[in-house]
A and B are shown apart, each in its own frame.
Chain A
Amino acid sequence: MPEREITFAQAVREALAEEMRRDARVCIIGEDVAEAGTPFKVLSGLVEEFGAQRVVDTPISEAGFTGVAVGAAMTGLRPVVDIMFGDFITLTMDQMANQAAKAHYMSGGHWKVPMVMRTTLGATRRSAAQHSQSLHAWFSHVPGLKVVLPSTPYDAKGLLKAAIRDENPVVFFEDKMMYKLKGPVPEDDYTIPLGVADVKRAGDDITLVATSSMVQVALGAAILLEKEGISAEVVDPRTTWPLDEKTLIDSAKKTSRVIVLDEGYGRYGVTAELAAVIAEGAFYDLDAPVRRMGAMHVPIPFSPPLEDATVPTEQTVFDAARRMCKAA
């Protein structure tokens, strides 16, 4: 029997529904999460099954309801907060970085904050500079938070279920361009541990380390490279923290060439950290400096040709990888 295929959005919804059935403490808090099911319709149907006490519509108060989730998580609930666009995490920064991330440590391990923040990332939706950013590096910088970047429907379901069961604050970034992407997802209950990378495609000549939206780009580039006789390995860390350093370093040692791809801003971002980890761990096995590709260091423009120029594409990744391999 062929494996069931569902969309990324359906996988997210299925993970939430299963966890809410399993554990009455799990609830959803955010703007337009109930009847509307979010602007992306990711949560459609949940309020009908679980009621308005567990799928809670809020005013447009990101700091306020994120703070409420922190306190509720400390005192017995397991809230999943919905931040409509990743750009709006800026409004929740004190609640996440100073409160949620530090309550366990500052209390000497007495209080725990088992909450999840779900939000989005990703450009090319023609949404301009305040609805297109990929700001996961900001949370990855803060000790006490975990950051998850699913790249397939299968990963989305398994990682979200693990995030909800985690005893720590976890931020879960969904690529809004990927919501309609279909893939095989088991109907059973499964989790994917946070901190375990996944080799999405095996190869020998070059490693493409890619996160979230960039995994599909890397896989597309790998197909183009194969036609040129270049075998690319695609490694998806799946979480920026905890980070599976070993899988990245092992792949780098095997192929000796690495490009790191991430849709966040390149400067001081996730690509910088991953490249540094690989350079430190595999330096003597590398044939070339680790290359980084991310969003350009500009506010994301509206005009389609301009916006398209800001993010790596299959073609630009293919070109960079081919140059790197041919130079050897």
Chain B
Amino acid sequence: MTTTTSKPEVGHGTAAEKEKWLRAYRQMVSIRLFEEQVNEVYTRALMPGLAHLYSGEEAVAVGICEALRIDDYITSTHRGHGHCLAKGASPDRMFAELLGKEAGYCRGKGGSMHIADPATGNLGANAIVGGSVGIATGAAFAAKNLGTDRVAICFFGEGALGQGSLYEVMNLAQLWKLPVIYVCENNLYNEYTRYQETTAGTILGRATAFGIEAMSVDGQDVRAVNEVAARLVNRARAGVGPAFLQCDTYRYSGHHVGDINREYYRSKQEEQLWKTDRDPILVLAKWLIELSYADAASLDRITAEVRATMESAVKFAIAAPYPNVDEVEKHVYA
């Protein structure tokens, strides 16, 4: 049982390492700019439904998914764009899904909260808070039963700590030593309510009560997240059992795009502090420059390239056709 905050390893200066962290940087920028476009498209009333932005939490999804293989599984949440991108989804098909177009990952039938993609092991985002804890644990059960060494990651917000099914499956996972890692993204708020008002005791204590290896990490530091994730993933892959990782993080925007006036539940100063002092992209950029893995100009170039990709993804999605109405009755049954 470990409940300490892990320390990131310092760089070893290898080319592979440089490439890895530049890739992580690009991934985080991709998520940030993807969400920037979502905000834009949403406020222009081009996107139906709801949009829950992942901005601010990029280091969690990227740090974890960088420790995974393409055939490892993830389950995601209503705030799931970051998880999908970090696991390898392509922005154009994601945007198409967000706009309800046939070219989308789910042929337009899932939308923002349900992106799923077998090719990248994405079992699906879930709009029921805590709704995918069983699915992730079941994927780990199948991996173990079928003798593969795949690992399942279950992403959820700290709001899901209120769901009893989480405790049922954590008990099962530890009894059966399943290769599943429960990743709790603690962004401090369940919708419009501070998590302290909804959460008795400690977060990690919930996992350690089952004897599950549990720890917390600075979710704004992608290297720290990745280092601990790699350790837990290897451990799970080797058959040692499940783990629980609390990632302390923050969402920059409202609960969803329309949540504008939010001073009744959190202050502007608090938001600003996270953005200036603990921004995951700035934190990594600073480190990359310190180690001469990049300079300001090369990072700007990455941002410009990503921005162009996101803009063309949006264009693709806007131009893409809606599904034919006869699609409505397809895929109810396999």
Tell me the A residues contacting B by CB distance below 8 Å. Answer: 25, 27, 53, 58-59, 61, 63-77, 94-95, 98-99, 103-112, 114, 143-144, 146, 167-168
Contact = CB atoms under 8 A, between A and B. Distances in A.
B126 to A, nearest CB: 8
Contacts of B168: 59, 61, 63-65, 67
Contacts of B175: 59
A67 B334 contact: no
A110 B117 contact: yes
Given A65-B172, A168-B334, 4 more contacts: A63-B134, A75-B123, A77-B145, A110-B118
Contacts of A168: 333-334
Nearest to B104: A108
B331 A68 contact: no
Interface string B135-163: 11111111101100000100000000000
Interface in B277-301: none
Nearest to B150: A75
| A-B CB proximity, top 3 nearest | A67-B134, A71-B138, A64-B168
Nearest to A59: B171
Contacts of B18: none
B306 interface: no
A285 B118 CA distance: 51
A77 B178 CA distance: 15
A71 B139 contact: yes
B110 A68 contact: no
B134 A110 contact: no
A109 B334 contact: yes
Contact of B332 (A63, A66, A143): A143
Given A64-B165, A65-B172, A74-B139, A111 B123 contact: yes
Given A70-B138, A71-B138, A71-B141, A108 B128 contact: no
**Most chain A CB atoms below 10 A, which of B131, B152, B172:** B172
Contacts of A25: 146
A46 B143 CA distance: 23
A168 B124 CA distance: 17
A106 B145 contact: no
B172 A59 contact: yes
Contacts of B104: 108
Interface centre among B136, B142, B175 (most CB of A within 10 A): B142
A98 B128 CA distance: 8
A53 to B, nearest CB: 7
Interface of B: 73, 75, 104-110, 114, 116-118, 123-124, 126, 128, 131-143, 145-146, 152, 164-165, 168-169, 171-172, 175, 330-334
A12 B168 CA distance: 28
A106 B330 CA distance: 11
B142 A71 contact: yes
Contacts of B132: 99
Contact of B131 (A94, A111, A114): A94
A104 B334 CA distance: 7
B138 A68 contact: yes
A94 B128 contact: yes
B157 to A, nearest CB: 17
Contacts of B138: 67-75
Most central of B110, B117, B136 by chain A CB within 10 Å: B110
A316 B280 CA distance: 72
Given A105-B331, A106-B106, A67 B123 contact: no
A152 to B, nearest CB: 26
Contacts of B145: 27, 53, 72, 77
22 contacts: A59-B175, A61-B168, A64-B134, A68-B134, A68-B141, A70-B134, A70-B138, A71-B136, A74-B142, A75-B138, A75-B139, A76-B146, A99-B134, A104-B333, A107-B106, A107-B110, A108-B105, A108-B107, A108-B109, A108-B110, A110-B105, A110-B117
Nearest to B102: A108
Contacts of B109: 105-106, 108
Given A64-B134, A72-B145, A73-B138, A109 B172 contact: no
A53 B141 CA distance: 10
A72 B142 contact: yes
A61 B139 contact: no
B116 A106 contact: yes
Contact of B171 (A64, A99, A114, A144): A64
B171 A61 contact: yes
A109 B334 CA distance: 7
Nearest to B166: A64
A59 B137 CA distance: 15
A68 B107 contact: no
Contacts of A72: 138-139, 141-142, 145
Contacts of B114: 106-107
Contacts of A108: 104-110, 116, 331
A6 B35 CA distance: 62
A190 B166 CA distance: 40
Contact of A94 (B105, B165, B334): B165
B106 A64 contact: no
A73 B146 CA distance: 12
Nearest to B168: A64
Contacts of B331: 104-105, 107-109
Nearest to B330: A109
Contacts of A167: 333-334
Contacts of B106: 106-108, 110
A66 B73 CA distance: 19
Contacts of A70: 134-135, 138
Nearest to B154: A71
Nearest to B113: A106
Given A67-B165, A77-B142, A98-B128, A144 B134 contact: no
Nearest to B176: A56
Nearest to A95: B134
Contacts of B334: 104, 109, 112, 114, 167-168
A104 B146 contact: no
